[in-house]
Chain A
Amino acid sequence: MRRKLASAILILVALCALFAPAIAPFDYDRQFRESPHAAAGGQFLMGTDNLGRDRFSRLVYATRISIVLAPAAAAVSVLLALMLSRFSSLTTLCLSLPWIFLFIIMRALLPLDTGPFASILLTFALMGVAGWAWPARIFNASIRQIRQSGWLLQARASGMPSRRIALIHVWPHLRAIAVAQFRVLVPAYILSEASLGLIGLGVAEPLPSWGNLLAELQRPQAVSANPWILAPLGLLMLVMICLEEVSA
């Protein structure tokens, strides 16, 4: 029952994201300059931001970006981790790399006429590639454990082909870890995008993302003025809880 509800919510959110142009009443970058900081209700469902942009429309478009790109990046990381986890020294090396500087260098090398969408795509792609070492380390530890396990030896003693052993016996263990890692990485990437935004590597104006909408929460007093500023946070938490429920 809860699982059904959770998947229904996820599907609803995904549909909203997919049909953003139809659902959002306004363009995400339309500035109603006569109504900055408008309160919720009336023409603006969740009010407007400092430039008079409709918060609801921005949230819908931001969802579109974050809900597609963050899981995609997380999936890339987990897949890479699975493929590369056997190279434990490579994992250690990658864990010790100062990624933030690589991101800065990447941004510095990127042509300036890279559009906002291309650059956000690139940012998430890089996060996906850069993030593989964390899950890899976990895979590595559990693969080591699996190697020592009695059931693997038993499976070998029964004459099962190694591929079959990997698929039937080993994969269920790795899949559980992969799912858990995926669940950890999705919100981590959404938040990383927000903090990368602070050093200029996130979504550029005027594109909205959960990250840069969340960044508004840095000013606590803004929330009392318009509680709908919390909406992206609420949505993020809802999606995370539903993901948890569905993949459990």
Chain B
Amino acid sequence: MRFFALICPCLWFCSVASAAELRFGLSGDPKTFDPLHVLDDNSEVVRYLTAGVLVRVNRVTDKVEPELAESYKLSPDGRAITFKLRPNLKFSDGTPLNASDVARTLNTALDPKQASPKGDTFRTDQGVPVAKVNSPLEITIRYPAPKPDLERLFDALSIIPVKAEKIPSSAGPFFVSEYRPGESIRLTRNPYYFQKPALDSIRLDIQPNKDIELTRFLRGELHFINKLDPESFDRVAKEKPAAARNLGASLDSDLLWFNQAPSSSVPEWKHKWFTSTAFRHAISESIHRDDIARLVFRGHAHPAAGPVSPANKFWFNAQLKPLPYDAAAASKALASEGFKLTGGVLKDRDGHPVEFSLITNAGNRPREAMAAVIQDDLKKIGIRVNIVTLEMGSLIERIARTAQYEACLLSFTSVEINPTEQMNVWLSSGAQHAWWPLQKTPGTQWEARIDKLQMSMASEPSQALRKKAFDEFQQLVVEQEPIIYLVNQDHLSAISPALKGTQPVAAPPQILWNVGQLRLE
């Protein structure tokens, strides 16, 4: 009995000291602690954990839930939103928080001098919203024109204190209590927050080396890793099976496209192939997407069905299915277009052997392996592919400015589940219009249609109509294949079984999105 009494407080101390502090790795120092000027991922993690926001989008149900605002009301014309704040809100330094702080935050974000990326999300072509403080606990924000999904914008707007400091006090569940550059950041629970999170503190270890991060996780020093590559994931699955968590398809897509812009470096006959839908479709059909998923990503990827990942449950066009591998069909289609296979070499109608160079960025081994698979697949139908890896800068130079390339293998990453997010890629006039940047007018009817659909998605207030337009857009991309979608990689993470209450999602901030509910056992 005495023995038990001795050991008991000791156990109690240990469990308290470790159980209440969540630990994980950050790939580098955050560039800023100012919530309105966050651009990099590491700053965004700190911002998210310290953010006092009016509402929060539930990443699982996609519903907008109250936070600092206990309720909100949209005006019938879709132009304005009125928030009612909770009473007695305070910042982490104890200063009170009311409606005028919300107005000031929004106005600061919108101040052109601030050049705040958060502010940019609030701007529209028609103009900027105006905030009106109705009472200390009530504020109305009004746009000059209807703004779809107005309430969701506030998920990312952290209310900032009056006092501008390098590390400002926070209105969210945690505040930055200690920062050692290059080493760690400690977040402590905000005692004035309206809710009490289960965690006492969070320690973010700055750890640029992924392999060390993994080793530390496997030793139990870190509670989770947000994003793992397939090889590391398989190692976790082997050594700590309970910790390996495949969150399913991510929002990212691996893809390739042909240069359709007029370019001095693309001979006229190749330009003819690249602008032919039948040619692009045949290429697409001869690429073995299952093999890419299985070999390059160790099975932790899925053939892509179209421009939107199925992870984007709401906006994905469920009618679309990945194009099955069918080299025979592709060869047949090419033959009917006048291509001829002689001596293992495919030649076009005029006798030009079909070959092209495929550029991709250097140093990304999975991508190079993917290129090797494609090269081998196309060899089977008589097409020679020359793989060229380029340093990212010169790659961008070629695809965005000089158009000196034939085909490009890359991936598009998505951070938002928003149909207009990639408008810059799809609008013919867009700067990142992959296959022909800054095209003056759409070259074909289907391109004109894509432009029209994109425009309507940006302004149509009815969600149902927007969904309809977006479905048609996806269908069109799959039919015309200006961009050939290959696979969606799975989002792979590792979560210690000691961390409870997780509802991880594939989109940032993945595991952390419901930090209020996370607890340690």
A contact set with B: CB distance below 8 Å: 29, 31, 33, 36, 50-52, 104, 107-108, 111-116, 119, 197-201, 204-206, 215, 219-222
What are the residues of chain B within 8 A of A219 when measuring CB–CB?
Answer: 211, 231
Contact A108-B390, Cβ < 8 Å, known A50-B296, A199-B363:
yes
Indicate with 1 or 0, residue by residue over B377-415, a CB within 8 angstroms of chain A CB atoms: 000000000111111011001000000111000000000
Return 28 A-B CB contacts under 8 Å, by A number: A29-B372, A31-B376, A33-B291, A36-B294, A36-B295, A50-B298, A52-B295, A104-B393, A108-B390, A112-B265, A112-B386, A112-B404, A112-B405, A113-B357, A116-B386, A116-B387, A197-B389, A198-B362, A200-B361, A200-B362, A200-B390, A201-B391, A205-B369, A205-B387, A206-B372, A221-B231, A221-B232, A222-B231
What are the residues of chain B within 8 A of A112 when measuring CB–CB?
Answer: 265, 357, 359, 386, 388, 404-406
Contact A204-B388, Cβ < 8 Å, known A51-B369, A108-B397:
yes
What are the residues of chain A within 8 A of B265 when measuring CB–CB?
Answer: 111-112
Distance A51 CA – B211 CA, assembled complex (angstroms) = 23
B389 is contacted by which of A113, A200, A215 (Cβ under 8 Å)?
Answer: A200
B375 near A104 with CB under 8 A, answer no
B363 near A198 with CB under 8 A, answer yes
Judged by a CB distance under 8 angstroms, whether B373 is at the interface is: yes
Distance A111 CA – B404 CA, assembled complex (angstroms) = 9
B394 near A205 with CB under 8 A, answer no
B295 near A199 with CB under 8 A, answer no
What are the residues of chain A within 8 A of B405 when measuring CB–CB?
Answer: 112
Distance A116 CA – B265 CA, assembled complex (angstroms) = 19
What are the residues of chain B within 8 A of A114 when measuring CB–CB?
Answer: 386, 388
Contact A113-B386, Cβ < 8 Å, known A107-B394, A199-B362:
yes
Judged by a CB distance under 8 angstroms, whether B500 is at the interface is: no
What are the residues of chain B within 8 A of A199 when measuring CB–CB?
Answer: 362-363, 391
B371 is contacted by which of A115, A198, A205 (Cβ under 8 Å)?
Answer: A205
Judged by a CB distance under 8 angstroms, whether B313 is at the interface is: no
Residue in B closest to A204 when the chains form the complex, CB atoms: B387
B373 is contacted by which of A51, A198, A201 (Cβ under 8 Å)?
Answer: A51
Distance A19 CA – B291 CA, assembled complex (angstroms) = 32
Distance A36 CA – B234 CA, assembled complex (angstroms) = 15
Distance A220 CA – B209 CA, assembled complex (angstroms) = 13
Contact A204-B389, Cβ < 8 Å, known A50-B296, A107-B394:
yes
Distance A116 CA – B372 CA, assembled complex (angstroms) = 12
Distance A80 CA – B400 CA, assembled complex (angstroms) = 40
What are the residues of chain A within 8 A of B31 when measuring CB–CB?
Answer: none
A51 near B357 with CB under 8 A, answer no
Judged by a CB distance under 8 angstroms, whether B490 is at the interface is: no
- Distance in angstroms from B104 CB to nearest chain A CB is 47
Distance A235 CA – B232 CA, assembled complex (angstroms) = 28
Judged by a CB distance under 8 angstroms, whether B235 is at the interface is: yes
Indicate with 1 or 0, residue by residue over B261-305, a CB within 8 angstroms of chain A CB atoms: 000010000000000000000000000100100111010000000
Residue in A closest to B239 when the chains form the complex, CB atoms: A221
Interface centre among B294, B298, B357, B372 (most CB of A within 10 A): B372
B372 near A220 with CB under 8 A, answer no
Judged by a CB distance under 8 angstroms, whether B368 is at the interface is: yes
What are the residues of chain A within 8 A of B365 when measuring CB–CB?
Answer: 215
Known: A104-B394, A108-B390, A112-B406. 12 other contacts (CB 8 A): A33-B294, A51-B369, A113-B355, A113-B386, A114-B386, A116-B386, A197-B362, A200-B362, A200-B363, A201-B391, A205-B369, A206-B372
B372 near A205 with CB under 8 A, answer yes
A108 near B394 with CB under 8 A, answer yes
- Distance in angstroms from B110 CB to nearest chain A CB is 41
| Minimum-distance CB pairs A-B, first 9 | A200-B362, A200-B389, A112-B357, A108-B394, A205-B372, A198-B363, A205-B387, A199-B391, A200-B390
Residue in B closest to A222 when the chains form the complex, CB atoms: B231
A200 near B372 with CB under 8 A, answer no
Distance A104 CA – B375 CA, assembled complex (angstroms) = 24
- Distance in angstroms from A105 CB to nearest chain B CB is 8
Contact A104-B391, Cβ < 8 Å, known A31-B373, A112-B386, A112-B406:
yes
Indicate with 1 or 0, residue by residue over B230-263, a CB within 8 angstroms of chain A CB atoms: 0110010000000000000000000000000000
Residue in A closest to B238 when the chains form the complex, CB atoms: A221
- Distance in angstroms from A36 CB to nearest chain B CB is 5
- Distance in angstroms from B274 CB to nearest chain A CB is 14
What are the residues of chain B within 8 A of A52 when measuring CB–CB?
Answer: 295
Within B342-378, the residues touching A (CB, 8 Å) are 355, 357, 359, 361-363, 365, 368-369, 371-373, 375-376
What are the residues of chain B within 8 A of A108 when measuring CB–CB?
Answer: 390-391, 394, 397
Contact A29-B357, Cβ < 8 Å, known A200-B362, A200-B389:
no
A201 near B362 with CB under 8 A, answer yes
What are the residues of chain B within 8 A of A29 when measuring CB–CB?
Answer: 372, 376
Interface centre among B288, B373, B376, B397 (most CB of A within 10 A): B376
B391 is contacted by which of A33, A107, A220 (Cβ under 8 Å)?
Answer: A107
- Distance in angstroms from B500 CB to nearest chain A CB is 29
What are the residues of chain B within 8 A of A113 when measuring CB–CB?
Answer: 355, 357, 386
